[in-house]
Chain A
Amino acid sequence: MKLTLKIWRQKNASAKGNFETYQMDNVSPEMAFLEMLDSLNKRLVEEDKDPVAFDHDCREGICGSCGMYINGHPHGPVPAITTCHLSMRFFKDGETVWIEPWRAKPFPVIKDLIVDRTAFDKIQIACGFISVNTGSAPEANNILIPKKISDEAFNSAICIGCGACVAACKNASAMLFVSAKISQYALLPQGRVEAKERVRAMVDKMDEVGFGSCSNTGACEAECPKQIKITNIARMNREFFKAF
């Protein structure tokens, strides 16, 4: 099929960006979206033009590297998948596809579609952990955790840290991301010990690095490739109020 791509090109963080138009004549519906971009880049290199830069790595939806707005949606129009899992069979012949980087102040553009997400790491460094030294753990089965609780913690723990929630939010709020981590630890007995310090430190850091507030719109949940629930945000709020 034939597609018209409108891709955001920006040389570096300080440059002014703009959309460039690229015609794609031979797109197979069997291609993955990133493979379509690979083929564009191959052509650009052959023409000695600068290829489009984008983050990607595992290409199986788990590392969280990839992520771009595709036709106005983080990770594209298909729910519950990452950009690397998006198949070209979801696009129509002759369609124009708009491709942009995440737009959020705490995620400055590095080049083209690559953004800087170290703000996420900073929040995790603030207290996204359980303080246990190597070698000092008790025998694993001494910690009994009801299956239901453990499964619920797992459902929060599967966040891949891609940033789609922030990109989807009109306030660039990181509440879904932060609350998923808070929830995982708040649910588990191992994490309860530091629960108060954790929620305060992570929320403080989240505000400090410039993420906005949550206004319960739910766009984050709708766009999350891993379907993390906004009930995590409610739990984080409860944890936060309990922490003072």
Chain B
Amino acid sequence: MGKLDAKIPAGPLAQKWTNYKATTKLVNPANKKKLEIIVIGTGLSGAGASSALGELGYSVKTFCYQDSPRRAHSVAAQGGINAAKNYQSDNDSVYRLFYDMIKGGDFRAREANVYRAAEVSNQVIDHYTALGVPFARDYGGTLNTRSFGGVQVSRTFYSSGQTGQQCLLGTYSSLNRQIKSGNVKMFPRREMLDLVLIEGKARGIITRNLVSGEIERHSAHAVVLATGGYGTIYFLSTLAVNSNASAAWKAHKKGAFFANPSFVQIHPTSIPQLNEFQSKLTLMSESLRNDGRIWVPKTKGDKRHANDIPEEERDYYLERRYPTFGNLVPRDVASRAAKERCDAGYGIGETGLAVNLDFRDAIKKQGKKAIENKYGNLFEMYRNITGIDSYVEPMRIYPAGHYTMGGLWVDYELMTTIPGLYSIGESNFSDHGANRLGASSLMQASGDGYFILPNTINNYLSGEISVPKISTDRLEFAEAEKASIERLNKLISIKGKKNAGSFHKRLGKIMWDHCGMSRNEAGLKEALKLINELKEEFWKELNVTGSLNEVNPELEKAGRVADYFELAELLVTDALNRKESCGAHFREEYQTPDGEAMRNDEEFTYVAAWEYAGEGKPPVLHKEELKFEEVEMKVRSYK
């Protein structure tokens, strides 16, 4: 089987998870208390896993960099969470949800994992409802749903435009219950600096207390990374500005393979960049495309006010190009179509890097009140930022870096290539292939955390029951701690002139220009050169003020940017290696005459899992061949 064994259970697709659960090894309740598990991150996957593992009786230690677990970036997800409930009786099923995800991911995800994600989706909705998450309801008191991009059913559960917040606060509440019971010990304002391996197994972490600056050692029988994605590698993205890849990257350098790093979702509907000082881009939920119509003027450089452009002079380009799915095409398709129009000179606004998202017709048909009920907070957010009232004129939107389908390689049990190290939620690569469909990230993160990991980690821990509490006095901890401190001191001692943020911004621009919505070989090679030059400049010109032993956001930022330089190289290397277009990865050399992505199934039906080979050495590629037993690989068409 080589180095990459995905450990997919035998049997028919629909039976795999049931069979797995029925036959996997278990840990006796009395032994669970003696086993310690570290969880990094408190989004839906991390806090969900901490809760469920605590309920099972494990001793859990949970870490986050924020001041409270309630602030993890799952909180910002807007539109909704998918489940195969088929409440609308519109032909939905677990199979259809699975199929939509496989197709939406352009046949670059693992069948068995995706099927399981769809399978547990219904339990997720039940659980959140029981936790008091106020999902939208119909007048009869039942749960309501709406449609999202890339599908033709209505399966997205939502709480206005702040579904992520409501799910996260529900998860935070279940985490709090476990903290109260003593099963989970919470460590906020901690940043993971390194992973500690003992005899090849993940046995602990080194953290920095972000208040005292103290470097701490924490040991456990297993470590779970629930650390989210790396979308902020583009600097401007829809992510929280402190989101970072450092924990995953440290794990990668200790032996965890990194899979499909170049699969990055550029979300089609973000508020465009307004000025050069901007620190982030704000997303406008995809759910808006249910009622909003996307268009640009038919005439190049038409500078008239949107409301003054008559119907026949508007180009509803998504409806024109994709009559079947219209405005609800998947995100990668919608983003590329917007870029195509803007590059061709039809973009609107001063920069020409924007398109209209227009609610005129929906308001005319359904009334302002109905639209306000569905999207009130989004319209309000849009007005706060831009000063524009979208009830009377269209929103202006443009694509922005959003979600990373790539991440740490995991097997069916969500274990990385390091024994005892797991990766869940956005931080792993497994369920979304080359493109994620809307409202499936909350679904996957919650499923991983609450329902999957707690059922797979026992298999590993059953072999650890005789291992006593691991001492942090061991040499491995001392060495990892020393290396972490040395690195921080190195950053502080450069004493240049520029702050870490300015490097981050420049790195982001390189990535956006050369490895964003569309990529080509020359551009990617140029990017590698530019990243390297900037990295050298960083290590010469950086200034980190203050010291190690105090609150020091500049030091935190510097460490994260330093890791991003290394990940950026891997991301570009992966994009160079994948000589095909699939999902969000669009290589200009590989497209159909009408500009659609052209896959190369013959050569690239695999997960590219990269092994770290050491400082300055090229990473080693391992391929996990993807076998499609259930679905037939087709050209992904939304026309």
Contact = CB atoms under 8 A, between A and B. Distances in A.
Interface string A118-159: 101100111111111111111111011111001101100110
A65 interface: yes
Contact of A150 (B134, B188, B499, B546): B134
B67 A125 contact: no
A141 B241 contact: no
B141 A147 contact: yes
B68 A126 contact: no
A63 B142 contact: no
Nearest to A88: B277
Interface string A80-118: 010001010100000000000000000000110010111
Interface string B214-245: 00000000000000000000000000111000
B477 to A, nearest CB: 27
A239 B275 CA distance: 49
A53 B498 contact: no
A60 B280 contact: yes
A38 B279 contact: yes
Contacts of B66: 57, 63, 65
Given A56-B241, A111-B551, A157 B71 contact: no
Contacts of B241: 56-59
Contact of B279 (A32, A114, A135): A32
A143 B129 contact: yes
Q: Which of A38, A44, A56, A137 has the most CB of B within 10 A?
A: A137
Nearest to A120: B68
B384 interface: yes
Contacts, number: 224
Given A58-B240, A89-B387, A134-B450, A53 B132 contact: no
B551 A110 contact: yes
Contact of B71 (A12, A64, A150, A154): A64
B385 A85 contact: yes
A140 B129 contact: yes
B367 interface: no
Contact of A145 (B141, B177, B543): B141
Interface stretch (A168-176, A183-191, A211-219): A183-191
B396 to A, nearest CB: 14
Contacts of A191: 132
Contacts of B186: 121
A62 B164 CA distance: 10
A28 interface: yes
Interface string B529-546: 000000000000001111
A204 interface: no
Q: Which of B126, B159, B450 has the most CB of A within 10 A?
A: B126
A114 B278 CA distance: 22
Interface range on chain A (Cβ under 8 Å from partner)? 35 or more
B381 interface: yes
Contacts of A65: 66-67, 71
Contacts of A45: 498-499, 543-545, 554
B620 interface: no
Given A28-B277, A63-B240, A114-B551, A132 B131 contact: yes
Interface residues of B, number: 81
Contact of A144 (B125, B141, B177, B551): B141
Given A125-B176, A133-B55, A140-B85, A110 B545 contact: no
Interface stretch (B165-173, B303-311, B433-441, B457-465): B165-173
A194 to B, nearest CB: 11
A242 interface: no
Interface string A16-48: 000000000000101110111011011011101
Nearest to A86: B384
Nearest to A82: B384
Contacts of B278: 32, 35
Given A58-B73, A63-B240, A145-B141, 10 more contacts: A50-B545, A59-B280, A62-B75, A62-B164, A132-B127, A134-B48, A134-B174, A143-B129, A153-B134, A188-B132
26 contacts: A12-B551, A28-B275, A41-B554, A42-B499, A45-B544, A51-B553, A51-B554, A62-B75, A62-B162, A63-B75, A111-B551, A121-B176, A124-B176, A129-B177, A132-B174, A137-B127, A138-B130, A140-B143, A141-B142, A143-B130, A151-B137, A157-B159, A158-B165, A184-B132, A185-B132, A190-B131
Interface of A: 11-12, 28, 30-32, 34-36, 38-39, 41-42, 44-46, 48-51, 53, 55-65, 81, 85, 87, 89, 110-111, 114, 116-118, 120-121, 124-141, 143-147, 150-151, 153-154, 157-158, 160-161, 184-185, 188, 190-191
Interface of B: 48, 51-52, 55, 66-71, 73, 75-76, 85, 87, 123, 125-127, 129-132, 134-143, 159-160, 162, 164-166, 169, 172-174, 176-177, 179-180, 186, 188, 211, 240-242, 274-275, 277-280, 282-283, 381, 384-385, 387, 450-451, 454, 497-499, 501-502, 543-546, 550-551, 553-554
